[in-house]
Structure 1
Amino acid sequence: MKEDFLHYVWQYKLFTMDDLYTTNHQKIQILKQGTHNNNSGPDFLQAKIKIGTELWVGNVEIHLKSSDWYAHHHEKDNQYNAVILHVVYENDMPVYIENNQELPTLVIKNHILTDVYINYQKLFSQSLRWIPCEPHINSVDSFLLSNWKERLFIERLEQKSVFIKKLLASQNNNFEVVLFQLLCKNFGLKVNADAFFNLATAVDYGIIRKVQHNDNQLSALLFGQAGFLEETTLEDPYYKSLQEEYKYLQHKFRLKSISKINFQFFRMRPANFPTIRLAQLIGLYHHHHNLFVKLMNTQSLEDFYNVFNISIHEYWKTHYTFDKTSKKSAKKITKSMVDLLVINTIVPLQFVWQQSRGALNQEKILQLIKEIKPEKNAIISKFSDIKIPSNNAFETQALLQLKNNYCTLKRCLQCAIGNSLINN
């Protein structure tokens, strides 16, 4: 039994309302159970309850045991002076408030609806399940599940927007700078995300805007700031040209040297080498001088594929690193890579951008994300194993939010699926 369950029972009145009495045998009539308080202070605010012959308006505090009042030191907190009713599962001692008066207490244990309690026990009894509702999730109404997925997806976007808004605050609300930082981070994929993000934050975006029309200068700037142009013995002509260009840019823009960024090559596919990903990013910004506007106004997946369909410098078509040649290949940004960028960078940024303008078009965002193929990872595979398939990225994003923010934390009482199973 968890206190959260008692909150849930009280909030939704999942207990018999007749014959309620305090431990001192005063009749209780609940006219309004109060508003659930998710912040500090009493659990339910502004309740309206008749106790005996008197009508009280105030707060309700809920505990598993009445002694928890003292264990949580509520007697020393003025926020609890307006508590009018103490709801407990067990009354193991009386609680006294101001003027040495006993706080009216309701023992709710024998009033909880039997089916609700049984379903709650079933949901939480098997700790070894991958998710608590694993045997029953398929019985949930499809309409409810569909609506809950939509809420989960928006909730996931809202969580991602917190990081974006922090970046915007640090960049004077410059969306173009934040786009560059987010693209860098996601071009680095999971292994090199931090290294790419460190590079993005170490480069003045204003300089990128000044040199992006010149592929050689843009390449020198980013490869130089990333620490890839520090080798003195390499005789590669292209490498040397970038070195010379970088020295010029250092002098012209007074570039500050940055500590060595730790890019990882070990156990990576050559197509994901940071040198190739950086070359693709350079190609993207060299090709599109108004990239932010294009990405914020693009709404179909096919159009995004066209935006990212750019060529990289000829040198990288025969190289994966500066020191070795390889078989020639175009090394285009793949559609699967574009899918990841749309999911993790563009859609969250569109969400924040539209919110900032008071023009949030949730339906368009949902339409776009539903065009993308479902993601492949261990969590999505496990959901598939328990007969919860995913048809697109909207559903995979929703399921990731469900698993990480509800199932793993056992927040079944805050989950529409858990609610449905408990009340069934």
Structure 2
Amino acid sequence: MVQFQEDFLHLVWKYQYFDKKGLETTSGIPLSIPKIGWHNQHEGPDFKEAEIILGGIKNYGHVEIHLKASDWKAHQHQNDPAYNSVVLHVVWEQDEEVYRADGTIIPTLSLFGKVPLDVIRNYEKLLFSPNRLLCSEALVKVPDILKFSMLEKALVERLQEKSRMVLTLLEENKQDWEETAYQWLFYAFGFKTNANPMLKLAKSLPYKLIKKNAGTQSLVEAMVFGQAGMIPATLGLDQEYEKKLEADYDFLQRKYNLKNELFGSEWKFMKVRPGNFPSLRLAQLAALLNKTPNLFSNVLYGLDNKLAFREVFEIKVSEYWQQHYHFGKPMKHKSRGGLSSGILDLLAINYVVPLWYAYGQYSDLGHWQEKCFNFLQEVSEEKNRLTEIYLAAGWSPLNAFDSQGMLGLYHGYCSKRRCLYCKIGQNLLRPNLK
């Protein structure tokens, strides 16, 4: 016998994947189901506000679902007033009668023997697949419109999760959007590996101090590198730059009473490509902040499309960082040290879009969600080990909307084997139509 979970029965009830001919309760009362109720994802009965006709009498209330009828007592529902309005108990196995708190019996429907064999087989094939992507072999059979719908759902959930991080920062900053956008920029520039020290750095260096010194890139660099704990204790080959950086930071630290809470050891360089060294990223951040002191207003109102975004984020680092990845580590060839096309796309995805989405939620302005979707469709798709999984199954991302949706889908559903909560999985479990 197949071992399935209770959520399988939820799906069977929700889509009525069972034989309803001559339906009756376990006590022989004729039964029909005009209204299944709405699926409750919170505490209380599983389906609320259902309409059930028992022996010709209409009953309005809730539906509770269990694998075994005895689970009613195991879950202590008999002691919970929220379950007194249950009009039908749906189970796989009827192993005992269950009663409400007032002693009245609860009508029970057993689905054993009523669920089509092909639905159970589809469940077995999907949930017990050895593939990393459980539906990979059958994904090509799923209609594109349904895949797109699930992709959009997963993308919204991913953006909601990211926006919660932004809104948490906003609360910490006492509703200061400028400071929040500034700190979120540092976090995004960390690209996961150095995201946390980047955020810690931003919190130790108020945005107002950057704005006061914007226009003099050497001063912005001095504050950024000094607060990062990266100014070298021993001088390298370019002593002039390093001496000036140290002197400028010493002056600014005393002037603004800056507290340095970061150590050089907190930054991760191991297994990081030189082009993504945090030192180079900090130089790029300094160049961007020096060029764009009104960061939040620029991101909020100055970026209508991908081209405008690239213009705002087009930077040129100082002479030293055109020739170095890190202090004392010169490049083989001189570079402008600007942001590559791939990095710009990642910043559009991970910095701009979550900020817009969070602002839309905070302001209760729905058009910001649509703006996020439109912008993501202009940005190139990501190529990583997770998008490759979908690509191998015949599902190709066309842009960042697709690739971000796929990342949300994988982390929220596929990796957790939550196929029964995914529209794609639900589609693959339906009865085979003849």
Structure 1 letter corresponding to 2:152: E
CA drift of 1:14 comes to 2.4
8 A contact 1:236–1:322 mirrored in 2:
no
CA drift of 1:194 comes to 1.5
Aligned to 2:173: 171
Written as runs of structure 1 = structure 2, the 5 A alignment for 1:391-406 is 391-406=398-413
Aligned to 2:318: 313
Asked if 1:136 is matched to 2:138, the reply is yes
8 A contact 2:60–2:87 mirrored in 1:
yes
Asked if 1:335 is matched to 2:341, the reply is yes
Over the matched positions of the two proteins, sequence identity in percent amounts to: 37
- Whole-Å separation in 1 of the counterparts to 2:81 and 2:109: 22
8 A contact 1:236–1:323 mirrored in 2:
no
Match of 1:323 among 303, 322, 328: 328
Aligned to 1:246: 249
Aligned length, in residue pairs: 423
8 A contact 1:27–1:52 mirrored in 2:
yes
Match of 1:350 among 328, 352, 356: 356
CA drift of 1:185 comes to 1.6
Q: Secondary structure at the match of 1:251?
A: helix
Asked if 1:367 is matched to 2:369, the reply is no
- Whole-Å separation in 2 of the counterparts to 1:300 and 1:380: 24
- Whole-Å separation in 1 of the counterparts to 2:280 and 2:262: 21
Aligned to 1:2: 5
CA drift of 1:148 comes to 2.9
8 A contact 2:419–2:425 mirrored in 1:
yes
- Whole-Å separation in 2 of the counterparts to 1:206 and 1:324: 32
| Range with greater deviation from structure 2 (336-345 or 173-182) | 173-182
Written as runs of structure 1 = structure 2, the 5 A alignment for 1:57-76 is 57-76=60-79
1:56-100, Cα deviation, whole Å (9 max, x unpaired): 322211000111112222223222222222110001122233344
Aligned to 2:258: 255
Aligned to 2:161: 159
8 A contact 2:201–2:262 mirrored in 1:
no
Structure 1 letter corresponding to 2:151: K
CA 218–12 in structure 1, closer or farther in 2 if over 3 Å, else same: same
- Whole-Å separation in 1 of the counterparts to 2:190 and 2:34: 57
Asked if 1:266 is matched to 2:273, the reply is no
8 A contact 1:35–1:45 mirrored in 2:
yes
- Whole-Å separation in 2 of the counterparts to 1:210 and 1:247: 17
Q: Secondary structure at the match of 1:190?
A: coil
Match of 2:81 among 71, 78, 87: 78
Written as runs of structure 1 = structure 2, the 5 A alignment for 1:110-259 is 110-126=113-129, 128-229=130-231, 231=233, 236-259=239-262
CA drift of 1:280 comes to 0.4
Asked if 1:12 is matched to 2:15, the reply is yes
Asked if 1:412 is matched to 2:416, the reply is no
8 A contact 1:65–1:92 mirrored in 2:
yes
Match of 2:295 among 291, 294, 310: 291
Superposition misfits of 4+ residues, deviation over 6 angstroms: none
**Where do 5+ consecutive residues of structure 2 fail to align?**
none
CA drift of 1:130 comes to 1.7
CA 192–259 in structure 1, closer or farther in 2 if over 3 Å, else same: closer
| Range with greater deviation from structure 2 (250-259 or 358-367) | 358-367
CA drift of 1:325 comes to 4.2
CA drift of 1:119 comes to 2.6
**Where do 5+ consecutive residues of structure 1 fail to align?**
none
CA drift of 1:7 comes to 1.0
8 A contact 2:227–2:262 mirrored in 1:
no
CA 182–99 in structure 1, closer or farther in 2 if over 3 Å, else same: closer
